[in-house]
Each structure stands twice: as C-alpha cells, then as structure tokens.
Amino acid sequence: MASLLKSYEADFQATLEQCQRLLRQAQGEPVAQRNATLQTLEQHKDDLYDILDQMEVEVNNMVGDPARQVASRSALRDLRREAGMVKQQLRELMDARDRDALFPAGAADMDNEQRQQLLSNHAMLQQTGERLVDAMRLANETEGIGNQVMMDLRSQRETLEHSRQNLFLADSYVDKSVRTLKTMSRRLVANKFISYAIIAVLILLILMVLYSKFK
C-alpha cells in the first residue's frame, strides 16, 4: 500500500509540473494556440484530481496504522491545495480567453452595463459547469467507495459463513466426543461390576477350599 501511494504521488508531481509548464506557456500564446494549450491543460487538471481521489482511497484503507494515516491525510490536503491553484489559474486564463471572444476589438463601444452583464452570465455558466463536473466526480468517487464497502461486506459475510460452518463441524465433533465418553463410562462401570463379581467368586472359592480342608 505504501509503495502504491508513493507511485500515485510521483504521478501527481509529474502531472503538476506539466500543468505549471502549460500555464506559463499559455500566457504568451496567441488565441488559436492558447485554446489547444488550455484544452490539454484542462485534461491534465482532471488527471490531477483523479490521482488525488485514488490516493484518498488508499489513505482511507490505512486502518491498521492511524499515525501514518493522519500524516498521509495532511500531505493529501497540501496536494489538493496545489491542484486548486492550478484550477484557479486555469479558470483565470479561460475567463480571459472568453472575454476576448465575447468582446473583440470592434466591440469597444459596447455599453459597460451590457459588458458586465455578459461577463456575469458567462461566469455563472462556467461556475455551474464546474460544479456539475465536481458533482459527477464526487458521485463517481462515492460509487467507487460504495462498491468497495459492498465487496468488504461480502467478504465478511463469507468469512462469517465459513466460521459458522466450522462451528457446526466442531459442535458435531463435541457431540461425538460426549457420546464416546458416555459409552466409555458405561463400559467402565460394567467392567467394575464384573471385576467385583470375579473377586467375590474367588473369595467364595477360597472359603470353600478352606472349609473343605479343615472340615
């Protein structure tokens, strides 16, 4: 589990470096090239959050090492902050791109109130889209956790069934042992009575011999 978590962290750092490089690159590019760069950057940003989700699953499974789990959660929060910075810078670049598309050079005489209204509506639509994406990611993550919980419950149920079968088997062995002990006890009692009878017969024979000898 530790090696897998380190592998995820290495993937995150590599993807983060790509995002930071693309952010710097997009700032000095013309509009046509910037669109392609931003599209690639958005894919890398989604990859960052996918890796974080996988890391969180691994951290949640560290039930046997609470101290390491706490340290890993703290490190995971730091990584999420770095991913959030990438997301914020990407949003600013996309807002700038959309403003250039909404207000080309020939639209300088547009009413300021109209410009602000268009910007507000566009920002609201973009935030709504991001919230939907986040909601879908959360739903997928929740589904994955739910599936893992179901698998764990199924495994525990199979373990309980196996334990119950073993218990029934052990109970049958105990019953057989009890019956064997009872049989042995009855035989011991019978053997004791037989021994007493033999001793009594021997004593009787000795007495008869003595009686006949001294008669």
Q: What is the pLDDT of residues 103-156, one digit of tens each?
A: 554 444 445 666 566 666 666 776 777 777 777 777 777 777 777 778 778 878
| CATH at residue 81 | 1.20.58.400
86 phi, psi to nearest 5 deg: -60, -45
Q: What is the pLDDT of residues 67-112, one digit of tens each?
A: 888 888 889 899 999 999 999 898 888 877 777 665 554 444 445 6
**Domain residue limits at 90:** 1-101
Q: Which residues of 48-62 are buried (b: 16+ CB within 10 A; e: fewer)?
A: bbbbbbbbbebbeeb
Query: Rounded mean pLDDT of the chain?
Result: 81
In a domain, 68, yes or no: yes
DSSP states along 128-152: HHHHHHHHHHHHHHHHHHHHHHHHH
* pLDDT exceeds 60 at position 165: yes
Distance from C-alpha of 2 to C-alpha of 8, rounded to nearest angstrom: 10
* Cβ–Cβ under 8 Å, residues 44 and 18: yes
Distance from C-alpha of 77 to C-alpha of 52, rounded to nearest angstrom: 9
SS3 65: coil
**Which among 70, 83, 193 has a CA at the least distance from the CA of 137?**
83
In a domain, 76, yes or no: yes
In a domain, 2, yes or no: yes
In a domain, 30, yes or no: yes
In a domain, 93, yes or no: yes
Number of domains in the chain: 1
* pLDDT exceeds 60 at position 47: yes
In a domain, 205, yes or no: no
* Cβ–Cβ under 8 Å, residues 60 and 144: no
User: Rounded to 5 degrees, what angle do the CA atoms 56, 61, 62 make?
Assistant: 100
In a domain, 86, yes or no: yes
In a domain, 108, yes or no: no
